[in-house]
Amino acid sequence: MHDKRFRVMIPAEEIDKAVECVAEKLNERYAGRTPVFLGVLSGSFLFLSDLVRKTTFNSQLAFVKISSYEGTESTGKVKQQLGVNFDIEGRDIIIVEDIIETGHSMNYLLDHLREKNPASISICTLFFKPEKFLYEYEVDYVALSIGNEFIVGYGLDYNQLGRNLKDIYVIDE
């Protein structure tokens, strides 16, 4: 892919089991409620799709687009390209992210959402890199914790390629 070689790190079956586990926890917490799943584009779309289909409660879907990556590195600067343009006051919000590393993007999004007075905000991520995380806020639902590897597949990209891969791949050096 582009100038790099990748190898399978996490097979699709393991991802599916992790998504199922997160969905079970969400089913317990949100039974009888109607939260808004807020997917962070573009990486979370496959995770969000699979997650929502495994939940048993009513929900609404919305999307935001923020970015801080160029190539394989975070720029440290968050840009919002598509935002929440409806009233979320008094609503339960479940932010669905593909990966949380430093936490800069999520911190930016949390600040933005809190201004709109939701009833609650939960953070749900497919991948979490605890060694890189720089903030004090809690990541409520983590499907899989990983090290500092650069990964691609299942919605995550390398310069816009690889999102369609069903497994998670890591750079093979």
pLDDT in tens, 74-107: 555 655 545 677 789 999 999 999 999 999 889 9
What mean pLDDT is predicted for residues 158-171?
Answer: 91
Compute the distance between CA of residue 108 and CA of residue 110 in angstroms, rounded to an integer: 6
> Directed axis angle between helix 45-53 and helix 12-30, to 10°?
60
Domains of the chain: 36-151 (3.40.50.2020)
Compute the distance between CA of residue 116 and CA of residue 93 in angstroms, rounded to an integer: 11
User: What tokens appear for 158 in the block?
Assistant: 């390398």
Q: Is the pLDDT of residue 113 over 70?
A: yes
**Model pTM score:** 0.88
> Read out DSSP for 56-78?
-S--EEEEEEEEEEETTEEEEEE
pLDDT at 145: 96
Q: What is the CA radius of gyration of the chain?
A: 16
pLDDT at 80: 54
DSSP-derived letter for residue 7 is E
DSSP-derived letter for residue 50 is H
3-class DSSP state of 19: helix
pLDDT at 105: 86
Compute the distance between CA of residue 120 and CA of residue 38 in angstroms, rounded to an integer: 13
